[in-house]
Structure 1
Amino acid sequence: MTIAQTTYRQGDPSTVPVVLVHAFPVDHRIWDECADRLIDCSAGDGDPAFGVYALEMPGAGECPVPTAEQTGPVAEDGAYPEAMTRMAESYAAALRKAGFDKAVWVGISMGGYLILELHRLHPEMFAGIMLCDTKAGGDAPATRANRVAIAEECERHDTVDPVMHFAEPHDGDSVWKRSDEAVALFSGWIRSQDPRGVAWRERMAAARPDETDQLAKITVPAGIVSGTLDPSSAPDRMRPIAEQMTGTDCAFTVIEDAGHFTCVEKPDEVARAILDLWRRAAAAD
């Protein structure tokens, strides 16, 4: 699979880099401001100039939608049972191609699913791990069926309308997420996505493996970020994830007045949490 790389800072090749993995149904751009804040904070504090990169999921942004051969088997319900594993292997190859054998991996939402699968396959490629606004378990049957239904709608009508609710303001959203700026930003990001790529990611995520067993196997420095207004990954839902990371010390960062996209809603606070994780990982490396 093709994995596009965005370089926010090339960095010193002798230092461990930070790799940012985006959420659904958008692309790496959700990390743009947070990555800039991370670089500014680390430079201002005198840290070594570590690399900061974002890797694009297949079918997102400018990345091509995987072929049927690349995707692998199709389940009876239309989900892709091997796609997550194949994508994770492609991420591992992308890191090696960039010249690194390990990184501090940061994943938000669907990006969290991806880095947990990558940890299952290649724990040696982790100097640190941060899970933002995500979960470790697989989808319940109803959630899986809904993902496949959304994928079918996107493909049938060549539209991203079924996922435009991510851009709409809702009661209980953060102040920023309800702003005209936020609506315009997310609407533009989502409208620019290929409907076939949105569908592929839904089918991939629907059949992803349950990664709960990976939590206790994490031994590198770890962090969790959770927005207090996140409808699916609020602090009360993410604390059990931290508690299951029994092989490491996990820093738990609660972001007030933020929902599911903390890196966009509160980029300064998320950048500081990532920088703290990078420092712990660099000290342990």
Structure 2
Amino acid sequence: MWVGLSMGGYVILDIQRRHPDAVAGFAMCDTKGDADAPAQRANRVRVAETCESGHTVDPVMHFADATDADSSFKRSEAGKALFSRWIRDQRPEGVAWRQRMAAGRPDLNDQLPLVTVPAAVIGGDRDPFSPPATMRAVADAMTGTDVTYTEIADCGHFSATEHPATVAAALVDLMRRVG
């Protein structure tokens, strides 16, 4: 069984594309299959260059900032501290690599209808990167399988951190369906 959270969704979509026989169960969490638009791609490359040239992760620190639209966890002191620590613990070269990788990823939405194993799509109702409409579209595109969709209330982009019990329950259900 493969589970992809955020950028991990692209990894499992590529596994589906390259080795569908290696997939017994498929879970997409807080993710999608879209490639970046040209402006997004250019911004990612700019961020990568800034991280490398300045030896800093500051260009991505805004991901730790919370707004009123974010989940209560992300707005909490514990959430702010966790996300800030996650970012600060990264090396600028690693952040740059991730930005370039994301900028170069292909659109893999064509793989969604090819999933034929039990599947789960899980996402937060306050996720700014893969909002409910996007996650429902991912689930709806999986026409070749039995797919469940779990929308988690008061949850942002990191459902497994913000609501681990809910994500675990959806994955246990998927494991049962995989058998």
TM-score (norm 2): 0.97
Residue 125 of structure 2: aligned partner: 228
User: Which residue does 2:34 correspond to in 1?
Assistant: 137
Q: Which residue of 2 aligns with 1:148?
A: 45
How many matched pairs? Answer: 179
Q: Matches of 1:157 and 1:222 in 2, distance apart?
A: 42
1:268 maps to 165
Q: Which runs of 5+ in 2 are unaligned?
A: none
Q: What does the per-residue CA deviation read over 1:205-259, in whole Å, with 9 as the maximum and x for residues that have no partner?
A: 1111110110111001100001001112111121111111110011000100001
Question: Offset at 1:194?
Answer: 0.9
SS in structure 1 at match of 2:81: helix
Cα deviation for residue 145 of structure 1 reads 0.7
Task: Determine the structure 2 residue equivalent to 1:216.
Answer: 113
Q: Write the letter of the residue equivalent to 1:171.
A: D
Counterpart secondary structure, 1:214: helix
Matched, 1:177 2:71: no
Q: Deviations over 1:47-74 (max 9, x none)?
A: xxxxxxxxxxxxxxxxxxxxxxxxxxxx
Alpha-carbon separation, structure 1, partners of 2:27 and 2:7: 13
Distance 1:241 1:169 in 2: 26
Alignment of 1:240-259 (within 5 A): 240-259=137-156
Partner of 2:17: 120
Map 1:31-110; keep pairs closer than 5 Å: 104-110=1-7
Amino acid at match of 1:112: G
Partner Cα distance (1:201, 1:212) in 2: 20
Identity %: 58
Structure-2 separation of matches of 1:253 and 1:272 = 10
Shift of 1:172: 0.8
Task: Give the residue type in structure 2 aligned to 1:139.
Answer: D
In the alignment, what sits opposite 2:84? 187
User: Structure 1 CA distance, aligned partners of 2:34 and 2:41?
Assistant: 12
C-alpha distance in 1 between matches for 2:6 and 2:53: 26
- Residue 63 of structure 2 is matched in structure 1 by 166
Query: What is the SS of the residue equivalent to 1:177?
Result: helix
Return structure 1 stretches of 4+ with deviation > 3 angstroms.
Answer: none
1:40 aligns with none
Q: How many Å apart are 1:263 and its aligned residue?
A: 0.8
* Structure 1 gap ranges (5+): 1-103
Larger radius of gyration: 1
| Shift, 1:177, TM fit | 0.9
How far does residue 119 in structure 1 lie from its aligned partner after superposition? 1.2
RMSD, aligned CA: 0.9
Q: AA paired with 1:226?
A: G
TM-score, normalised to structure 1, is 0.62
Structure with the higher helix share, 1 or 2: 2
Distance 1:159 1:219 in 2: 43
CA distance in 1, matches of 2:80, 2:141: 36
The CA distance in 1 between the partners of 2:110 and 2:165, in whole Å, is 31
